[in-house]
Amino acid sequence: MSGWFDKESYRRAASVPASGFIIAGGVLAAWGIVSFLIAVSGDDPARAWRIYHVNFLYFTGIAIGGVLFSAVHRIAKGWWAGPIVRFAEAGAAFLPVSLLCFLFLFLGSRYVFPWVEHPTPARGKWLTTPWVFWRDLLSLVAVFGVAIAYVWHSLKPDVAELKDRVEGYKKNLYHRIAGDFTPTPEALARNEERLNRLAPLLCVLYGYLFSLIAFDLVMSLAPYWVSTLFGGFFFMGAFLTGLTSLGLMMVYWRRKLDLGELIGRQQFHDLGKLVFGFSIFWTYLMFSQFLVQWYGNLPEETSFPFYRLWGEWRLIGTMVGLMVFVIPFWGLIWVKAKITPFTFTLFVSVSLVGMWLERYLLVQPSLTEHGPHIGLVELAVTAGFLGLFLLAYGMFAKTFPMVSPRLAEQAAKLHH
């Protein structure tokens, strides 16, 4: 059992150089926060709050999507992902930040939620600040709590092995996580059992509670528009961003840590297939909602999609369709394009940026009279959120082993 981390590549992955993440993240975050504060105290605070909301939704989706990928790989027994799951789990580090961002959002709630200043009688008490705030806070705490517990137990065996070889703050933390865990087969099996329970729990909670988040924080921005499918559309989109950002992280760490022997054709091919599949699924959900609303042609239903597909928003609407569906579809349909790191990175990035535009398109047109306007404030706030994400991710990478030798060995056994 001893000596998982004696192999060269695992040793490299156990203490990774993450200062790049932390420095870049710190600079971007500082720029974003300063610009946001200036914009909020300026004469158009609503503009800053709107883009804040878009980015809060987008980066929360990336962070929870990563942890969800790990849970899904466990439920589906997709052991091929063994060497890369930790890159996805690292997103968990952003979840506490995301919760703070949610609390902070309610400082500006009157700029974001139209029903704060113009209550919507048709929705009664359901859409009032205390109700929305408390039920969404509890939902986020529940999902994030289970997600962090999941990552905690996933780290446990790896951390237990390293706990006496690390120094400083890591030592305390590792001892805390490892607890009285000893790497006996029984203890490992018990830990696996716990993870096998947490994974489906996380998925079910995510499905239910992120539907609620989608209804409360996105659909309520256009309080008279209803779509029962919107929750699913929203959280599956967030899962897609989790997959695509995992793709970028995989390419980055593979290169940075020289992990070519662990992460190969299989990982690129399979993750490429998942991104391809979920791009189609995103389109499927979008279209199945669009079709019925188009057919029924009821003004209160069609106003939401049609406003985004014609007129001023047409450019963004078209770009979202191209970047999330058409380009990744025709790009990733070929095996060669999935397994070549350059094309894989290219199409995955297109999808990731496209999903940002999608979140922008979901939120922004409900809140403004005018068309899309992406200026310095929007860029700075987006960069600020990216910075916070990179900062949290970098801290995780600096602290914990970024490849789990157990899972990597399990994957290697599949195709020797």
Partner 1 sequence: MSGPPGVLAAFQHVDAAVDAIRAVKELGYRDFTVYTPAPNHEVDKAVGHKVSPVRLWTLFGGLTGCAAGFAMTLWMSYDYPIVVGGKPLGSIPPYVVIAFELTILIGALSTIAGLLFHSWRTRRKAAYDPRFSDDHIGIFVPAPPERHAALRQLFIESGAVEVKVEG
- Given the rule CB under 8 A, which of 174-182, 219-227, 291-299, 399-407 is the region that contacts partner 1? 291-299
- Given the rule CB under 8 A, which of 13-21, 81-89, 160-168, 290-298 is the region that contacts partner 1? 290-298
Which one, of 199, 251, 197, 192, lies nearest residue 73 by Cα? 199
106 near partner 1, judged by CB under 8 A: no
N residues, the chain: 416
- Given the rule CB under 8 A, which of 171-179, 221-229, 286-294, 374-382 is the region that contacts partner 1? 286-294
Identified binder of partner 1 from the candidate list 287, 318, 373, 413, rule CB under 8 A: 287
103 near partner 1, judged by CB under 8 A: no
Q: Which residues contact 315 (CB under 8 A, 6 or more apart)?
A: 372
Q: How far is CA 141 from CA 53, 99, 126, in A?
A: 18, 8, 20
- Given the rule CB under 8 A, which of 100-108, 165-173, 205-213, 289-297 is the region that contacts partner 1? 289-297
How far apart, in whole angstroms, are the C-alpha atoms of residue 35 and residue 373? 17
For tokens 């999941």, the residue is: 150
Which is nearer to partner 1, 252 or 290 (by Cβ)? Answer: 290
229 near partner 1, judged by CB under 8 A: no
290 near partner 1, judged by CB under 8 A: yes
Which is nearer to partner 1, 370 or 416 (by Cβ)? Answer: 416
291 near partner 1, judged by CB under 8 A: yes
Q: Which residues contact 166 (CB under 8 A, 6 or more apart)?
A: 174
In the complex, minimum distance from the CB of residue 309 to partner 1, in angstroms, rounded to a whole number: 11
Binding-site string for partner 1 from residue 244 to residue 283, where x marks contact by CB under 8 A and - marks none = ----------------------------------------
- Please say whether the beta carbons of 177 and 396 come within 8 A: no
Which one, of 98, 163, 16, 31, lies nearest residue 392 by Cα? 98
- Please say whether the beta carbons of 377 and 51 come within 8 A: yes
How far apart, in whole angstroms, are the C-alpha atoms of residue 304 and residue 302? 5
- Radius of gyration, CA atoms only, the chain: 22
> Which residues from 293-322 bind partner 1, rule CB under 8 A?
294-295, 297
Which is nearer to partner 1, 224 or 294 (by Cβ)? Answer: 294
Which is nearer to partner 1, 185 or 296 (by Cβ)? Answer: 296
In the complex, minimum distance from the CB of residue 333 to partner 1, in angstroms, rounded to a whole number: 9
How far apart, in whole angstroms, are the C-alpha atoms of residue 13 and residue 87? 11
Which one, of 5, 128, 123, 150, lies nearest residue 64 by Cα? 150
Residues that bind partner 1 (CB under 8 A): 287, 290-291, 294-295, 297, 415
